[in-house]
Structure 1
Amino acid sequence: MKKFTLCLKISLVSAFCMFLCAFSDPETLEQYTGYLQKTFVDHYDNAQESSQVKRYELNVTNTGFCRYKRYYNNGKTEYFAFKLAKFKDMDYYGTTVSGKLYIHTKSDDVIVQTYKDRGGDVDSMATQIIIPVKNMEAEDLNLIRNNLERIVKLPPAEIPKTEVKSED
Protein backbone atom coordinates (compact mmCIF):
# COMPACT_ATOMS: atom_id res chain seq x y z
CA MET A 1 0.00 0.00 0.00
CA LYS A 2 2.91 2.36 0.75
CA LYS A 3 4.34 1.86 -2.75
CA PHE A 4 0.94 2.67 -4.24
CA THR A 5 0.67 5.87 -2.15
CA LEU A 6 4.19 6.92 -3.11
CA CYS A 7 3.49 6.29 -6.81
CA LEU A 8 0.21 8.21 -6.52
CA LYS A 9 1.99 11.21 -4.91
CA ILE A 10 4.69 11.21 -7.59
CA SER A 11 2.04 11.03 -10.32
CA LEU A 12 0.01 13.88 -8.82
CA VAL A 13 3.07 16.10 -8.36
CA SER A 14 4.19 15.37 -11.94
CA ALA A 15 0.72 16.12 -13.29
CA PHE A 16 0.56 19.37 -11.31
CA CYS A 17 3.97 20.46 -12.64
CA MET A 18 2.93 19.69 -16.22
CA PHE A 19 -0.27 21.68 -15.65
CA LEU A 20 1.73 24.70 -14.50
CA CYS A 21 4.18 24.41 -17.39
CA ALA A 22 1.32 24.25 -19.87
CA PHE A 23 0.19 27.71 -18.83
CA SER A 24 3.62 29.31 -18.63
CA ASP A 25 4.48 31.95 -21.18
CA PRO A 26 7.69 30.97 -22.96
CA GLU A 27 9.67 33.85 -24.35
CA THR A 28 9.48 34.33 -28.08
CA LEU A 29 11.71 35.67 -30.81
CA GLU A 30 9.78 38.95 -30.72
CA GLN A 31 10.59 39.46 -27.04
CA TYR A 32 14.30 38.83 -27.59
CA THR A 33 14.51 41.05 -30.66
CA GLY A 34 12.47 43.78 -28.96
CA TYR A 35 14.92 43.87 -26.08
CA LEU A 36 17.92 43.95 -28.44
CA GLN A 37 16.40 46.76 -30.53
CA LYS A 38 15.70 48.88 -27.47
CA THR A 39 19.16 48.27 -26.01
CA PHE A 40 21.01 49.04 -29.24
CA VAL A 41 19.02 52.25 -29.79
CA ASP A 42 19.41 53.40 -26.17
CA HIS A 43 23.15 52.72 -26.05
CA TYR A 44 24.22 53.62 -29.61
CA ASP A 45 27.04 56.17 -29.51
CA ASN A 46 26.76 58.49 -32.48
CA ALA A 47 29.52 60.71 -31.03
CA GLN A 48 32.18 58.11 -31.92
CA GLU A 49 31.45 58.60 -35.61
CA SER A 50 29.78 62.02 -35.77
CA SER A 51 32.60 63.62 -37.76
CA GLN A 52 32.20 61.06 -40.57
CA VAL A 53 28.66 59.67 -40.33
CA LYS A 54 25.73 61.90 -41.20
CA ARG A 55 23.08 59.46 -39.96
CA TYR A 56 22.56 55.79 -39.23
CA GLU A 57 19.86 53.15 -39.04
CA LEU A 58 20.14 50.26 -36.60
CA ASN A 59 17.27 47.78 -36.60
CA VAL A 60 16.70 44.39 -35.04
CA THR A 61 13.70 42.89 -36.80
CA ASN A 62 11.13 40.52 -35.36
CA THR A 63 12.07 38.10 -38.15
CA GLY A 64 15.50 37.61 -36.55
CA PHE A 65 17.81 39.98 -38.45
CA CYS A 66 20.11 42.78 -37.34
CA ARG A 67 20.52 45.54 -39.93
CA TYR A 68 22.94 48.44 -39.54
CA LYS A 69 23.27 51.18 -42.14
CA ARG A 70 25.62 54.17 -42.01
CA TYR A 71 25.35 57.20 -44.28
CA TYR A 72 28.61 59.12 -44.51
CA ASN A 73 28.99 62.86 -45.11
CA ASN A 74 30.75 62.19 -48.44
CA GLY A 75 27.73 60.26 -49.79
CA LYS A 76 29.08 56.77 -49.13
CA THR A 77 26.70 54.24 -47.57
CA GLU A 78 27.62 51.06 -45.69
CA TYR A 79 25.07 48.35 -44.99
CA PHE A 80 25.59 45.40 -42.64
CA ALA A 81 23.07 42.62 -42.00
CA PHE A 82 23.13 39.22 -40.34
CA LYS A 83 20.70 36.64 -39.09
CA LEU A 84 20.68 36.61 -35.28
CA ALA A 85 20.54 32.81 -35.26
CA LYS A 86 24.11 32.87 -36.67
CA PHE A 87 25.46 34.56 -33.52
CA LYS A 88 28.64 32.95 -32.19
CA ASP A 89 30.22 35.28 -29.65
CA MET A 90 30.65 38.93 -28.71
CA ASP A 91 33.39 41.14 -27.36
CA TYR A 92 33.33 44.58 -25.83
CA TYR A 93 36.28 46.93 -25.99
CA GLY A 94 36.02 50.14 -24.00
CA THR A 95 34.81 51.48 -20.69
CA THR A 96 31.37 51.85 -19.17
CA VAL A 97 31.28 55.34 -20.71
CA SER A 98 32.13 54.48 -24.32
CA GLY A 99 33.24 51.47 -26.34
CA LYS A 100 32.66 49.18 -29.29
CA LEU A 101 30.55 46.04 -29.29
CA TYR A 102 31.88 43.32 -31.62
CA ILE A 103 29.26 40.74 -32.54
CA HIS A 104 30.82 37.66 -34.15
CA THR A 105 28.97 35.17 -36.33
CA LYS A 106 29.63 31.47 -36.93
CA SER A 107 31.12 32.01 -40.37
CA ASP A 108 31.03 34.67 -43.09
CA ASP A 109 27.41 35.43 -42.20
CA VAL A 110 27.46 39.25 -42.14
CA ILE A 111 26.41 40.79 -45.45
CA VAL A 112 28.42 43.94 -46.16
CA GLN A 113 27.37 46.28 -48.96
CA THR A 114 29.04 49.57 -49.80
CA TYR A 115 27.45 52.15 -52.11
CA LYS A 116 28.88 55.28 -53.69
CA ASP A 117 32.41 54.48 -52.56
CA ARG A 118 35.52 55.63 -54.43
CA GLY A 119 36.28 52.03 -55.38
CA GLY A 120 32.72 51.46 -56.57
CA ASP A 121 29.88 49.49 -55.07
CA VAL A 122 31.17 46.46 -53.17
CA ASP A 123 29.31 43.41 -51.87
CA SER A 124 31.16 41.13 -49.47
CA MET A 125 30.78 38.94 -46.42
CA ALA A 126 32.28 39.35 -42.94
CA THR A 127 32.43 37.48 -39.65
CA GLN A 128 31.60 40.39 -37.34
CA ILE A 129 29.72 43.62 -37.01
CA ILE A 130 31.01 46.49 -34.87
CA ILE A 131 28.55 48.80 -33.11
CA PRO A 132 29.71 51.91 -31.22
CA VAL A 133 27.99 52.08 -27.82
CA LYS A 134 27.95 54.26 -24.72
CA ASN A 135 26.90 53.85 -21.08
CA MET A 136 27.26 50.09 -21.29
CA GLU A 137 27.38 48.27 -17.97
CA ALA A 138 28.39 44.63 -17.49
CA GLU A 139 24.75 43.71 -16.81
CA ASP A 140 23.71 45.21 -20.16
CA LEU A 141 26.38 43.19 -21.97
CA ASN A 142 25.30 40.01 -20.19
CA LEU A 143 21.65 40.60 -21.14
CA ILE A 144 22.59 41.23 -24.78
CA ARG A 145 24.62 38.01 -24.85
CA ASN A 146 21.81 36.04 -23.14
CA ASN A 147 19.20 37.28 -25.61
CA LEU A 148 21.42 36.44 -28.59
CA GLU A 149 22.19 32.99 -27.19
CA ARG A 150 18.49 32.32 -26.60
CA ILE A 151 17.73 33.24 -30.21
CA VAL A 152 20.39 30.77 -31.38
CA LYS A 153 18.79 28.04 -29.24
CA LEU A 154 15.27 28.64 -30.56
CA PRO A 155 13.87 25.78 -32.61
CA PRO A 156 14.08 26.57 -36.35
CA ALA A 157 10.29 26.47 -36.62
CA GLU A 158 10.05 29.59 -34.41
CA ILE A 159 12.36 31.68 -36.60
CA PRO A 160 10.61 32.99 -39.72
CA LYS A 161 12.40 32.31 -43.00
CA THR A 162 12.93 35.56 -44.83
CA GLU A 163 15.47 36.92 -47.24
CA VAL A 164 17.73 39.86 -46.53
CA LYS A 165 16.97 42.62 -48.98
CA SER A 166 18.88 45.81 -49.38
CA GLU A 167 16.93 49.03 -48.97
CA ASP A 168 18.44 51.21 -51.64
Structure 2
Amino acid sequence: MKKLTFILKLGFFPLLILILSAFSNINSVEEGVSYLQKSFASHYDLGQESDQIKRYELNVTNNGFCRYKRFYINGKTEYFAFKLSKFKDLDYFGSTETGKLYLHTKGEDVIVQTYRDRGGDVDSMATQIIIPIKNIQPEDLNLIKENLRELSSKF
Protein backbone atom coordinates (compact mmCIF):
# COMPACT_ATOMS: atom_id res chain seq x y z
CA MET A 1 0.00 0.00 0.00
CA LYS A 2 2.83 2.41 0.86
CA LYS A 3 4.45 1.67 -2.48
CA LEU A 4 1.19 2.50 -4.34
CA THR A 5 0.80 5.76 -2.41
CA PHE A 6 4.40 6.69 -3.22
CA ILE A 7 3.86 5.98 -6.94
CA LEU A 8 0.68 8.10 -6.95
CA LYS A 9 2.55 11.00 -5.31
CA LEU A 10 5.30 10.76 -7.91
CA GLY A 11 2.73 11.03 -10.68
CA PHE A 12 0.70 13.76 -9.00
CA PHE A 13 3.45 16.38 -8.57
CA PRO A 14 4.64 16.45 -12.21
CA LEU A 15 1.00 16.67 -13.29
CA LEU A 16 0.40 19.58 -10.90
CA ILE A 17 3.50 21.40 -12.19
CA LEU A 18 2.37 20.89 -15.78
CA ILE A 19 -1.09 22.30 -15.05
CA LEU A 20 0.30 25.33 -13.19
CA SER A 21 2.83 26.09 -15.93
CA ALA A 22 0.07 25.99 -18.55
CA PHE A 23 -1.86 28.68 -16.68
CA SER A 24 1.25 30.80 -16.10
CA ASN A 25 1.86 30.89 -19.86
CA ILE A 26 -1.60 32.35 -20.43
CA ASN A 27 -0.98 35.01 -17.81
CA SER A 28 2.38 35.94 -19.33
CA VAL A 29 0.74 36.41 -22.74
CA GLU A 30 -1.96 38.59 -21.22
CA GLU A 31 0.63 40.54 -19.23
CA GLY A 32 2.79 41.06 -22.32
CA VAL A 33 -0.16 42.22 -24.40
CA SER A 34 -1.32 44.52 -21.60
CA TYR A 35 2.16 46.01 -21.22
CA LEU A 36 2.47 46.68 -24.95
CA GLN A 37 -1.01 48.21 -25.12
CA LYS A 38 -0.27 50.55 -22.20
CA SER A 39 3.16 51.49 -23.57
CA PHE A 40 1.87 52.31 -27.04
CA ALA A 41 -1.05 54.30 -25.61
CA SER A 42 1.08 56.34 -23.21
CA HIS A 43 3.91 57.08 -25.67
CA TYR A 44 1.92 57.65 -28.86
CA ASP A 45 2.55 61.13 -30.26
CA LEU A 46 -0.49 62.47 -32.08
CA GLY A 47 1.26 65.86 -32.19
CA GLN A 48 3.57 64.66 -34.98
CA GLU A 49 0.56 64.22 -37.25
CA SER A 50 -2.13 66.38 -35.63
CA ASP A 51 -2.54 68.58 -38.70
CA GLN A 52 -3.52 65.52 -40.78
CA ILE A 53 -4.89 62.90 -38.36
CA LYS A 54 -8.29 63.26 -36.71
CA ARG A 55 -7.92 60.17 -34.50
CA TYR A 56 -6.14 56.84 -34.32
CA GLU A 57 -6.50 53.33 -32.91
CA LEU A 58 -3.48 51.31 -31.84
CA ASN A 59 -4.20 47.87 -30.40
CA VAL A 60 -2.33 44.73 -29.45
CA THR A 61 -4.78 41.84 -29.13
CA ASN A 62 -4.80 38.68 -27.01
CA ASN A 63 -5.01 36.58 -30.17
CA GLY A 64 -1.64 37.88 -31.37
CA PHE A 65 -2.22 40.87 -33.66
CA CYS A 66 -0.87 44.41 -33.68
CA ARG A 67 -3.31 46.80 -35.38
CA TYR A 68 -2.83 50.48 -36.15
CA LYS A 69 -5.54 52.58 -37.77
CA ARG A 70 -5.31 56.27 -38.68
CA PHE A 71 -8.32 58.41 -39.57
CA TYR A 72 -7.41 61.50 -41.57
CA ILE A 73 -9.26 64.81 -41.48
CA ASN A 74 -10.06 64.50 -45.22
CA GLY A 75 -11.89 61.18 -44.60
CA LYS A 76 -9.12 58.82 -45.68
CA THR A 77 -8.41 55.82 -43.42
CA GLU A 78 -5.20 53.79 -43.27
CA TYR A 79 -5.10 50.39 -41.60
CA PHE A 80 -1.97 48.40 -40.73
CA ALA A 81 -1.91 44.98 -39.08
CA PHE A 82 0.46 42.09 -38.55
CA LYS A 83 0.56 38.85 -36.59
CA LEU A 84 2.96 39.08 -33.65
CA SER A 85 4.51 35.77 -34.68
CA LYS A 86 5.89 37.64 -37.73
CA PHE A 87 7.69 40.28 -35.62
CA LYS A 88 11.40 40.49 -36.42
CA ASP A 89 12.89 43.61 -34.84
CA LEU A 90 12.31 47.24 -33.98
CA ASP A 91 14.20 50.46 -34.58
CA TYR A 92 13.73 53.86 -33.03
CA PHE A 93 14.83 57.07 -34.70
CA GLY A 94 14.63 60.22 -32.64
CA SER A 95 15.31 61.49 -29.15
CA THR A 96 13.79 60.75 -25.76
CA GLU A 97 11.29 63.57 -26.43
CA THR A 98 10.02 62.57 -29.88
CA GLY A 99 10.73 60.05 -32.62
CA LYS A 100 9.44 57.22 -34.79
CA LEU A 101 9.21 53.56 -33.80
CA TYR A 102 9.67 51.10 -36.68
CA LEU A 103 8.23 47.64 -36.10
CA HIS A 104 9.79 45.29 -38.68
CA THR A 105 8.38 41.92 -39.72
CA LYS A 106 10.12 38.88 -41.18
CA GLY A 107 8.83 39.58 -44.68
CA GLU A 108 5.97 41.41 -46.30
CA ASP A 109 3.69 40.45 -43.43
CA VAL A 110 2.06 43.81 -42.66
CA ILE A 111 -1.41 44.19 -44.16
CA VAL A 112 -1.90 47.76 -45.43
CA GLN A 113 -5.35 48.98 -46.46
CA THR A 114 -6.51 52.45 -47.42
CA TYR A 115 -10.12 53.54 -47.62
CA ARG A 116 -11.67 56.65 -49.16
CA ASP A 117 -8.39 57.72 -50.75
CA ARG A 118 -8.31 59.94 -53.85
CA GLY A 119 -6.46 57.18 -55.73
CA GLY A 120 -9.05 54.62 -54.68
CA ASP A 121 -9.04 51.91 -52.04
CA VAL A 122 -5.73 50.06 -51.97
CA ASP A 123 -4.74 46.75 -50.38
CA SER A 124 -1.04 45.95 -50.17
CA MET A 125 1.65 44.38 -48.00
CA ALA A 126 4.61 46.00 -46.23
CA THR A 127 7.57 45.02 -44.07
CA GLN A 128 7.09 47.56 -41.26
CA ILE A 129 4.74 49.79 -39.31
CA ILE A 130 5.92 53.28 -38.33
CA ILE A 131 4.45 54.70 -35.11
CA PRO A 132 5.10 58.27 -33.86
CA ILE A 133 6.37 58.16 -30.27
CA LYS A 134 7.06 60.74 -27.54
CA ASN A 135 8.64 60.77 -24.07
CA ILE A 136 10.30 57.36 -24.20
CA GLN A 137 13.46 56.15 -22.49
CA PRO A 138 15.85 53.51 -23.86
CA GLU A 139 14.77 51.14 -21.08
CA ASP A 140 11.15 51.42 -22.25
CA LEU A 141 12.19 50.62 -25.81
CA ASN A 142 14.11 47.57 -24.59
CA LEU A 143 11.06 46.35 -22.63
CA ILE A 144 8.81 46.84 -25.66
CA LYS A 145 11.25 44.90 -27.83
CA GLU A 146 11.57 42.14 -25.22
CA ASN A 147 7.77 41.79 -24.91
CA LEU A 148 7.32 41.71 -28.70
CA ARG A 149 9.98 39.01 -29.05
CA GLU A 150 8.50 36.95 -26.24
CA LEU A 151 4.99 37.21 -27.65
CA SER A 152 6.16 36.42 -31.18
CA SER A 153 7.48 33.08 -29.95
CA LYS A 154 4.14 32.24 -28.28
CA PHE A 155 1.82 32.84 -31.24
Whether TM exceeds 0.5 here: the answer is yes
Secondary structure of the 2:58 match is strand
Q: Secondary structure at the match of 1:99?
A: strand
The list of structure 1 runs, each at least 4 consecutive aligned residues, that deviate by more than 3 angstroms after superposition, is 23-27
CA RMSD of aligned residues (A): 1.8
| Whole-angstrom distance in 2 between the partners of 1:142 and 1:57 | 23
- Cα distance between partner residues in 2 of 1:62 and 1:104: 20
The match for 2:131 is 131
Displacement after TM superposition at 1:91 (Å):
0.2
Aligned counterpart, 1:6: none
What pairs with 1:6-155 in structure 2 (closer than 5 Å)? Answer: 22=17, 25-26=24-25, 27-154=27-154
Count of paired positions: 138
TM-score when normalising by structure 2: 0.83
Q: TM-score, normalised by structure 1?
A: 0.77
Output the CA distance in 1 between the equivalents of 2:133 and 2:73.
20
Distance 1:30 1:130 in 2: 24
Secondary structure of 1:124 counterpart: strand
Distance, in Å, in 2 between the alignment partners of 1:80 and 1:61 is 14
**What letter is aligned with 1:70?**
R
The CA distance in 2 between the partners of 1:37 and 1:121, in whole Å, is: 28
For structure 2, the 5+ residue unaligned runs are 1-9
Distance of 1:114 and 1:102 partners within structure 2: 19
Identity of aligned residues (%): 65
Letter of the 2:105 counterpart: T
CA drift of 1:30 comes to 1.5
Q: Judge which range, 21-30 or 47-56, deviates more.
A: 21-30
CA distance in 2, matches of 1:152, 1:71: 28
Question: Cα distance, 1:28 vs. partner?
Answer: 2.7
Once residues 68 and 30 of structure 1 are traced to their aligned partners in structure 2, the CA distance between those partners, rounded to angstroms, is 19
* Deviation per residue, 1:72-116 (Å, 9 max, x gap): 011110000001110001100000000000000000100000001
| Partner AA of 2:115 in structure 1 | Y
8 Å Cα contact 1:29-1:64 kept in structure 2: no
The code of the aligned residue for 1:131 comes to: I
